[in-house]
């Protein structure tokens, strides 16, 4: 085998062009969606959630944005794995603008309902 046909070139593995992966925002969404993150009509308002659970990406994003580390999130939600939390965070960052807008909308609706009905309780 000649040095140019060797799978190792100067200590680095050389992959054929088709095996080189470029993780773009679009490919990250495709990779996560449908395996680790799912969306099901009738569950969690159709929002993206961790497969096999009713914990949405929004829930994980809110915890993370409140200052909780992924390890602390799994301490509070022991049914999840660290990989699932990181998958939810990756999906969140790939869709940050839309998810943040939905979270803001939820907070505004909560505040409106609290102002309207909170005093009546």
53: domain CATH number is 1.10.10.10
Cβ(64)–Cβ(89) below 8 Å: yes
pLDDT for position 6: 44
Task: Kindly tell me if the per-residue pLDDT of 13 is higher than 50.
Answer: no
Whether 5 maps to a domain, the answer reads no
Structural domain contains residue 10: no
Q: Does residue 34 fall inside a structural domain?
A: yes
CA distance to 58, 61, 98, 109, per residue, from 104 (Å)? 11, 12, 10, 9
pLDDT band at 25 (very low <50, low <70, confident <90, very high): low
**What is the predicted pLDDT for the residue at 86?**
94
Residue 27: pLDDT over 90: no
- Say whether pLDDT at 8 is over 80: no
Residue 112 lies in a domain: yes
- Number of separate domains in the chain: 1
The pLDDT value given to residue 36:
87
Domain span including residue 83: 29-116
Query: What does the radius of gyration of the chain's CA atoms come to, in whole angstroms?
Result: 21
Tracing tokens 């909780």 back to the chain, one arrives at: 68
Closest residue by Cα to residue 60 from 81, 35, 33, 29: 81
Asked whether residue 68 is domain-assigned, the answer is: yes
Task: Tell me whether residue 4 is in a domain.
Answer: no
């Amino acid at each position: 085998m000649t040095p140019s046909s060797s799978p190792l070139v100067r200590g680095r593995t050389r992959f054929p062009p088709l095996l080189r992966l470029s993780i773009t925002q679009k490919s990250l969404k495709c990779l996560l969606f449908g395996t680790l993150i799912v969306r099901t009509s009738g569950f969690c308002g159709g929002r993206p959630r961790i497969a096999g659970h009713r914990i949405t990406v929004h829930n994980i994003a809110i915890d993370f944005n409140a200052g909780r580390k992924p390890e602390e999130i799994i301490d509070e939600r022991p049914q999840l794995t660290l990989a699932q939390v990181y998958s939810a965070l990756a999906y969140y960052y790939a869709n940050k603008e839309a998810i943040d807008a939905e979270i803001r909308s939820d907070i505004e609706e909560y505040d409106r309902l609290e102002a309207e009905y909170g005093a009546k309780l």
